[in-house]
Amino acid sequence: MSRRIYRLRSKFKKKLSSKSFIDFFSSAKTILPFISPLEAKGDRPLQMTFEDMLKSLVYFHLEEHQSASHLLQVLEEDDFARKNIAPEKGIKKSSFSEAVNSRGLDQFLQLFQLLQAKATKIIPKEYDHLGELVAIDGSLIDACLSMDWADYCGSSKKAKAHIGFDLNRSIPRKIHLTDGKEGERPFVSQILEPGQTGVMDRGYICYKSFDLWQEEGKHFVCRIKENAAKKEIRANSVKTDSIVFYDSVVLLGTEGVNRANKELRVVGYHADGTDFWIATDRHDLSAEDVAVVYKLRWKIETFFGWWKRHLKVYHLIARSPYGLMVQILSGLITYLLLSIHCQEEHGEKVSIKRVRELRTKIKNEAASPGEARTCSKRHKKQRKRKAKS
């Protein structure tokens, strides 16, 4: 009798799964065959395949684990995580650390790029009339004192993630990682593609860069200082009832000192008790639209805050530049998977409400395999009804 009960329990455990997690992860799963295979270094076999690494790190972010130790404990003790997320033979802390800090970076980059392309096709543009808008900004990451490469100041170590963010679709596009002291401006040309418009704060002011970006066919909307020297070439008309109080084509800078070679447009507008001065090469937009474009830059700040708070992206599980880049890429991939999931399932952008809903479904389905199958059938019927309507 006891053997029969044991067999029934074993059979039940094998069925532990979650249709919601499978659906959520499917966008990455379908791309995996197109990713370069992860190969072992030397004679020692891989302790984690790339899919194992990907699932573990995505699960780390999705479930808001606090540390690598927290994740590894869950992978060992939680029935669902052990059966569906962890490598078949389990994973030890040393093997997990070695994998994250020395393997998979190329594969994570490839997957991020392919997922980003997929999300771009699925998610509709919100501001199509304003063109392809990419907010560019850097985000500091608190590092450990042992991370010598993350130079910032004498008593503090920080790394910096330089990110390009698609403002039309609210998804990340590009990522570069440096120490905390590295300036932002050199990454604009690497992040932007010809025809796109970079939307930037005052940290990116550089008159030579304004010339360079125009030569490269890359547009910009960048806040400048109120007292920036301007040689006015011609003034554009300004509406009397507008927030805009200045709109002219100028040469920026002081002659013989730092003057730009190419003309650009400067728009001044008043909002929230502050005067904003914006330099741009977008002559096709109205002055009011230029103001709207710069206001949209706040979306990348919101993204950074949400990303850190709800996906625990900056809770370090790696100390090397290689490992930290793997960690950040896995966080970006998790966000892209959530973006695709929320668009396909709800026709919405990512929200913590939908993320919590997904987490709850995964737990409920994993706890009750029979309920998971029922939910799956009900979910299919709902999708068919939505498709017909």
What pLDDT was estimated at residue 199? 98
What pLDDT was estimated at residue 388? 55
Three-class SS of 318-366: CCCHHHHHHHHHHHHHHHHHHHHHHHHHHCCCCCHHHHHHHHHHHHHHH
pLDDT at 373 over 60: no
Check: CB of residue 340 under 8 Å from CB of residue 119: yes
Kindly report, residue by residue over 250-299, the tens digit of the pLDDT.
999 998 888 999 999 999 999 999 999 999 999 999 999 999 999 999 99
Distances (CA, A) of 353 to 223, 313, 342, 349, 383: 34, 19, 10, 11, 20
Kindly report, residue by residue over 74-99, the tens digit of the pLDDT.
999 999 999 999 999 999 999 999 99
Kindly report, residue by residue over 109-138, the tens digit of the pLDDT.
999 999 999 999 999 999 999 999 999 999
% of the chain surpassing 90 pLDDT = 72
Kindly report, residue by residue over 320-358, the tens digit of the pLDDT.
999 999 999 999 999 999 999 999 999 999 999 999 999
- What's the rounded Cα separation, in Å, for the pair 25 and 104? 18
**What 8-state DSSP symbol labels residue 108?**
H
Task: Give the mean model confidence (pLDDT) for residues 28-37.
Answer: 95
Task: Give the mean model confidence (pLDDT) for residues 190-200.
Answer: 96
pLDDT at 375 over 90: no
pLDDT at 42 over 70: no
Greatest C-alpha distance within the chain: 94
What pLDDT was estimated at residue 15? 56
- What's the rounded Cα separation, in Å, for the pair 340 and 190? 25
pLDDT at 5 over 50: no
What pLDDT was estimated at residue 236? 96
- What's the rounded Cα separation, in Å, for the pair 97 and 1? 43
What pLDDT was estimated at residue 9? 47
Task: Give the mean model confidence (pLDDT) for residues 15-37.
Answer: 91
User: Which tokens belong to 264?
Assistant: 């650009």
Nearest CA among 235, 285, 287, 259 for reference residue 277: 287
% of the chain surpassing 70 pLDDT = 90
Check: CB of residue 240 under 8 Å from CB of residue 215: no
Q: Which residues pair with 95 in a beta bridge?
A: none
pLDDT band (50, 70, 90) for residue 367: confident
DSSP-derived secondary structure for 179-207: ETT--SGGGHHHH--TT-EEEE-GGG--H
pLDDT at 6 over 50: no
Kindly report, residue by residue over 137-177, the tens digit of the pLDDT.
999 988 888 888 888 887 788 899 999 999 999 999 999 99
Task: Give the mean model confidence (pLDDT) for residues 6-27.
Answer: 71
Phi, psi of 351 (to 5 degrees): -145, 155
- What's the rounded Cα separation, in Å, for the pair 81 and 85? 5
Domain boundaries, the chain: 11-108+318-388, 126-304
- What's the rounded Cα separation, in Å, for the pair 192 and 214? 12
What pTM, to 2 d.p., does this model score?
0.88
What pLDDT was estimated at residue 13? 45
Task: Give the mean model confidence (pLDDT) for residues 227-239.
Answer: 95
